[in-house]
Amino acid sequence: MTGICATTPHDAEISGGPSLLRRPVKDLVVALEKIGAYCTSNQGYPPVHVRGPIKGGSVEISGNATSQYLSSILLAAPLACTPVEVYMVGRLESKPYVQMTLDMQSRFGVNVEASEDLTEFHVRGQTYRPSEVEIEGDWSSAAFLLAGAAIAGDRVRIQRLEKKSLQADRYLLDILKHVKATVSQDSSSVTVEESQIGTAEVDVSDCPDLFPVTCALCASAGGTSTITGIRRLRIKESNRVQAMSDGLKQMGIKTEESENSFVINGGKPRKAIINPYQDHRIAMAFGVLGLCCEEVTILDAECVEKSYPSFWSDLQSLGARVTTA
């Protein structure tokens, strides 16, 4: 929304709840100013004040923070007065999300010239045109039910998960195979059966939202697993590395943390009360892990409404014992 508001000559303020106000936006603010928008923040954090229109020009963006800054610039750039050139500095993480942005722009009539490695972008002035788009099923939400099936299910099939999807979290299939889960797939559905979960070494640099559910999978395995590419996860809805570490500790699972890796010594999770820090993905991850222990209590369980309001009822419909206080 910051990028979109920068295309208009009107003053706008973008703010939000407590977790959003802890999300750094300095790189995006600086980038928008370089291409002609007026943009300020609260010492690098929301609320953000922005006014356009953006004029155009050249800008550099760090690739190791979040792909959302780049997508924001790309969405706004076609409406600039002159062409916009964007250069990535450092490794671009979460590449699939940028590819999704470019794909959706093309469906609405906008062409962005991008280098093959997605480090350089040239956007000329264009106009978005109306289009009709069918939205795919959400791999990010489905990941929790598929992981639950592998940990403690019988056989779960989820439809409308496109085999050729650009969604980053389609990588869950590779993770399930790494942990030796039984998985089958056709063009638009995935089936997972209960499996003897094994250890894994997983890099979530391009799919950071899979970190919590991958932790749940690895915690249920006997042995040591390593998840890398976690550095940015400390600035999500919560500090997801700390949140998973705290919760796993409550469940008797030992972990070790470094700047960019998370080691899990899996085993038999025990009964616990979990604080998800109002983070939907943390709550769902521990809900899944609770399937293979006596009981887990999730505080503020309604936080799942951010992305998956029916998660608890869907889990219950698949046979899990779910009660609400």
* Residues 233-288: tens digit of each pLDDT: 987 888 999 999 999 999 999 999 999 999 999 999 999 999 999 999 999 999 99
How would you label 144-161 residue by residue, b for 16+ Cβ within 10 Å and e otherwise?
Answer: bbbbbbbbbbeebebeeb
More confident residue, 90 or 185: 185
Confidence of residue 309 (pLDDT cuts 50, 70, 90): very high
Pairing of strands 45-51, 38-42: antiparallel
pLDDT of residue 66 exceeding 90, the answer is no
What 3-state DSSP class applies to 94? coil
Distance of CA 85 to the CA centre of its chain: 26
Active site residue ranges = 209
Confidence of residue 324 (pLDDT cuts 50, 70, 90): confident
Residue 106, both tokens = 């093309």
Residue 313's pLDDT is 96
Q: Where do the domains of the chain lie, and which CATH numbers do they carry?
A: 2-123 (3.65.10.10), 139-317 (3.65.10.10)
- As a whole number of angstroms, the distance between CA 315 and CA 305 comes to 14
Confidence of residue 65 (pLDDT cuts 50, 70, 90): confident
* Residues 162-177: tens digit of each pLDDT: 988 999 999 999 999 9
Residue 169's pLDDT is 96
Contact criterion met (CB below 8 Å) for 14 and 20: no
Among residues of the chain, what percentage have pLDDT more than 70?
A: 100
The whole-model pTM stands at 0.87
